[in-house]
Amino acid sequence: MMANPLVYDEVNHQVNYITKLYLEHSTTSLQANMTGLFLVNDVIVDLEYPRFWSPYVLGQIERKPETIMFQFGGHALVINYQQKTRIAS
């Protein structure tokens, strides 16, 4: 990956990179810009997906949650990011 050139377009404020991804035979074009778009082979990739999974949390944790509750062995830990609290029980 380090041997491939990374091109920064100062006018459009975007980074372009062409590489071969692991175990792929064809080249892949990656592009990111300041508006938050990320493209793979000129196709926009949705970056709003759940980021964290744990067997100790019921269900999926959505992106940027206000609270997360971990449970194991009859104990629980609730983390509230908005209130900056951590409650164990």
- pLDDT category at 9 given cuts 50, 70, 90 is confident
R_g of the chain, CA atoms, integer Å: 20
Q: In this structure, what DSSP letter does residue 66 have?
A: S
Give pLDDT, residue 68.
Answer: 93
Verdict on whether the full-model pTM lies above 0.85 = no
CA atoms of 89 and 84, how far apart (whole Å): 17
DSSP string, 44-62: EPP--S--B--TTSSSPBP
